[in-house]
Amino acid sequence: MSRLFTRRGVTTGLIAGAGGLLSGCDALGRNETFRKILYSGDDANRTLQRLVSDRNALAREYAAPEMSPRFRTNGTRNPNTDAYNALAANDFADWRLNIGGLVERPLNIGIDRLRSLPARTQITRHDCVEGWSAIGKWTGPRLSMLLDAARLKPEARYIVFHCADRYRGGTVPYYESIDLIDAFHPQTILAWAMNDAPLSVGHGAPVRLRVERQLGYKHAKYVMGIEAVASLAGIGGGKGGLWEDIAGYDWYAGI
Ligand SMILES: Nc1nc2c(c(=O)[nH]1)N[C@H]1C(S)=C(S)[C@@H](COP(=O)(O)O)O[C@H]1N2
Ligand SMILES: [Mo]
């Protein structure tokens, strides 16, 4: 078990992040790698800095009465593979999340551990590219906390999410990816609860990504593995996500 996951480690991490909970700039600023990449050179980077702070703006959050009475499921509603069905039959007690790739300290944690980490709850609007939206409440640890614990190597540029489901039951696994700005955005969480209940199979059990500044297809459900990479070229069809590969969707789907 990594040292940051001891109670003391988590507390220390939280104190370091206190006051930064709602500030994406702080989240970015805590990461030396970003600083070097983004703020090297000086005034030539002013435009870039402005873009980065826009990218760090928070998605709107809503009040409980604004939550949608019905939140539809979309895409895969059940991965229905033998492996997934076995995990689901046991209430995901045997599910393990792997965090690897370009990290100093690969992590492998179970669902109980994930649920015991300090969590963020946010009520946000999900916008699907197909033209529907719904407001729901999501709870889970910030992705940044896990990436900090795993310690990204300096070459890491993207975070890839490997999912349990296969496109239309075929052989192509669903996957998605985001850059480090979104990975460290304060509202980017690994949600294990929706609307105060454990995530249902339809909505991505046991864990799905919420990346609130982007469209629905970026919010990977059924997350099994998280991989830090330097380039997206070697993953899937190379465009950073299943829909990007097969349907030409934009990799950056900002809203
Ligand atoms: N693993 C996986 N994640 C996925 C999908 C999918 O088919 N498989 N569909 C995406 C799309 S297009 C949308 S709109 C949302 C739907 O999330 P929901 O089922 O909770 O409404 O999940 C996204 N994440
Ligand atoms: Mo979607």
> What tokens does 94 get?
């045997």
Average pLDDT over residues 159-165: 98
Average pLDDT over residues 66-86: 97
pLDDT tens per residue across span 109-152: 999 999 999 999 999 999 999 999 999 999 999 999 999 999 99
Evaluate: CB of 78 within 6 angstroms of ligand 1.
no
Evaluate: CB of 225 within 6 angstroms of ligand 1.
no
Which domains are assigned to the chain? 7-51 (no CATH), 64-247 (3.90.420.10)
pTM of the model: 0.85
Q: Residue 14 pLDDT more than 90?
A: no
Closest atom of ligand 1 relative to the 204 alpha carbon: 20
Evaluate: CB of 144 within 6 angstroms of ligand 1.
no
Q: Is 61 exposed, middle or buried (0-12, 13-18, 19+ CB in 10 A)?
A: middle
Average pLDDT over residues 68-87: 97
pLDDT at 47: 75
Closest atom of ligand 1 relative to the 203 alpha carbon: 20
Which residues neighbour 181 within 8 Å (Cβ) at sequence distance 6 or greater?
Answer: 28, 34, 52, 55, 56
Closest atom of ligand 1 relative to the 163 alpha carbon: 1
Average pLDDT over residues 175-195: 98
Closest atom of ligand 1 relative to the 215 alpha carbon: 14
Evaluate: CB of 172 within 6 angstroms of ligand 1.
no
C-alpha 131 – ligand 2 centre gap (Å): 8
Average pLDDT over residues 242-253: 97
DSSP 142: B
C-alpha 49 – ligand 1 centre gap (Å): 31
Stronger pLDDT, 85 or 34, i.e. the higher one: 85
pLDDT at 132: 98
Look at ligand 1, atom 18, and give the residue with the nearest C-alpha.
73
pLDDT tens per residue across span 21-64: 334 444 554 555 555 555 555 566 677 777 777 999 999 999 99
Beta strand pairing status for 193-194 and 189-191?
unpaired
Evaluate: CB of 74 within 6 angstroms of ligand 1.
yes
d(CA 14, CA 171): 41
Q: Which residues fall inside 5 Å of ion ligand 2, going by CB?
A: 128, 216-217
pLDDT tens per residue across span 186-242: 999 999 999 999 999 999 999 999 999 999 999 999 999 999 999 999 999 999 999
